[in-house]
């Protein structure tokens, strides 16, 4: 409990620093967010009115406090003669359509989460399995073939891999129709079939990195003294590998998985664009193109939150995978 409380406090502090940096980067740099929100054809009087509605006529520190207030307690926005309430966690209003940023993010979050977690299963299964097999077959033909495949996977851009899968599976072999995203709540079976190629694309791309990491970690653990001791006492090779070597090789894989899963919550932009998945990555690209600053800040803050939480979970999984790790 003490460890969890310390990690939670550290996560809150990191997110506060991140929110301050994002706010300063996007709102205090040269430029007028009110002009962007109003449009190029607005008169100075209209821009001044929008600036007052958004609270941009206040000092910078007061603006940031209002931003924090919206995150933890909600916030009211002026909309002409009426007030629009934005419930916590409020990330502001979109400059393009006056929708709440939280609503836009929640609309894209399920698609991104399903893509990230499905790809996680694929890259762990393929990456850890391939890396372990390569380490156990060191020096043989199997290892050389797997090394070539992992190097090819590492050097192939994700959009090229996705295009090759689309051409091979959908166009040439015609095993699957071209993917079209279907929400899980609407039709679970069609959701799974249409997410299969995006999962494979992202999973195959990431699995090459995990195969190399698992191979090097496993070889390092197999060379340690306690592994030689187990073998000298007659412990079966299967038990040595599964109960001791693999457990010792998993912590770096867990740490990297946490980082990748957190960043994948908003970083799978190319995959989402390629397969037409309405997730956070596509929302971020569209917001950057239209200079919709509140949406950009909100999506980046969600990505940062996912990375921080994923690292906290990784610390706990570290201890479960390797009992030599002490939580303090």
Any idea which residue has 């038990």 for tokens?
Answer: 239
DSSP letters, 134-193, are HHHTTTSHHHHHHHHHHHHHHHS-HHHHHHHHIIIIIIIS-SSPPP----TTT-HHHHHH
For residue 153, pLDDT over 80 is answered with: no
pLDDT, tens digit, 9 for 90 and up, residues 190-227: 999 999 999 988 888 888 888 888 888 888 888 888 88
pLDDT, tens digit, 9 for 90 and up, residues 58-111: 787 888 888 888 888 888 776 555 677 888 888 888 877 778 899 999 998 889
Say yes or no: 69 and 106 in one domain: no
Could you give the CA distance from residue 213 to residue 207 in angstroms, rounded to a whole number? 10
CA 289 to chain centre: 21
Q: Quick check: 296 and 124 in contact, CB under 8 A?
A: no
DSSP letters, 264-309, are HHHH-HHHHHHHT--SHHHHHHHHHHTT-HHHHHHHHHHHHHHHHH
Could you give the CA distance from residue 111 to residue 184 in angstroms, rounded to a whole number? 9
* pTM of the model as a whole: 0.81
CATH number at 276 reads 1.10.3720.10
Say yes or no: 142 and 248 in one domain: yes
Tokens matching residue 164? 């090759």
Say yes or no: 81 and 159 in one domain: no
Domain contains 225: yes
pLDDT, tens digit, 9 for 90 and up, residues 114-125: 998 898 998 888
Domain contains 154: yes
Could you give the CA distance from residue 115 to residue 276 in angstroms, rounded to a whole number? 12
Q: Quick check: 88 and 255 in contact, CB under 8 A?
A: no
Question: 53 is in which domain, residue-wise?
Answer: 19-90
Domain contains 11: no
Domain contains 73: yes
Domain contains 4: no
pLDDT, tens digit, 9 for 90 and up, residues 246-302: 777 787 888 788 778 877 776 577 888 888 888 888 888 888 888 788 888 888 888
Domain contains 9: no
Quickly count: other Cβ atoms within 10 Å of residue 169's Cβ: 18
Any idea which residue has 């090789």 for tokens?
Answer: 249
- 206 closest CA partner among 251, 287, 264, 250: 264
């Amino acid at each position: 409990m003490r460890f969890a409380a310390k990690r939670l406090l550290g996560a809150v502090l990191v997110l506060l620093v991140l929110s301050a940096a994002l706010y300063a980067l996007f709102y205090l740099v040269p430029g007028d967010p009110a002009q962007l929100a109003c449009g190029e054809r607005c008169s100075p009087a209209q821009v001044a009115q929008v600036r007052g509605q958004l609270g941009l006529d206040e000092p910078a520190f007061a603006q940031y406090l209002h931003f924090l207030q919206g995150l933890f307690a909600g916030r009211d926005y002026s909309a002409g003669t009426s007030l629009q309430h934005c419930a916590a966690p409020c990330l502001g209003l979109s400059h393009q359509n006056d929708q709440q940023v939280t609503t836009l993010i929640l609309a894209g979050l399920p698609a991104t989460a399903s893509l990230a977690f499905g790809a996680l299963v694929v890259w762990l299964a393929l990456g850890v399995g391939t890396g372990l097999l390569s380490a156990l077959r060191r020096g043989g033909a199997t290892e050389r073939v797997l090394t070539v495949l992992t190097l090819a996977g590492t050097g192939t851009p994700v959009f090229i891999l996705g295009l090759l899968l689309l051409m091979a599976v959908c166009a040439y072999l015609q095993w699957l129709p071209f993917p079209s995203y279907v929400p899980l709540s609407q039709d679970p079976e069609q959701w799974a079939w249409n997410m299969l190629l995006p999962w494979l694309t992202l999973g195959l791309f990431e699995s090459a990195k995990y195969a190399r990491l698992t191979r090097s970690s496993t070889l390092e653990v197999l060379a340690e003294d306690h592994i030689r001791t187990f073998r000298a006492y007659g412990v079966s090779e299967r038990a040595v590998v599964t109960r001791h070597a693999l457990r010792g090789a998993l912590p770096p894989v867990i740490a990297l998985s946490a980082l990748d899963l957190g960043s994948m919550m908003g970083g799978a932009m190319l995959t989402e664009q390629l397969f037409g998945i309405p997730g956070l990555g596509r929302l971020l690209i569209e917001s950057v193109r239209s200079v919709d600053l509140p949406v950009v800040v909100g999506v980046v803050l969600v990505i940062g939150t996912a990375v921080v939480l994923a690292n906290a979970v990784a610390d706990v999984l570290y201890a479960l995978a390797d009992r030599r790790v002490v939580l303090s």
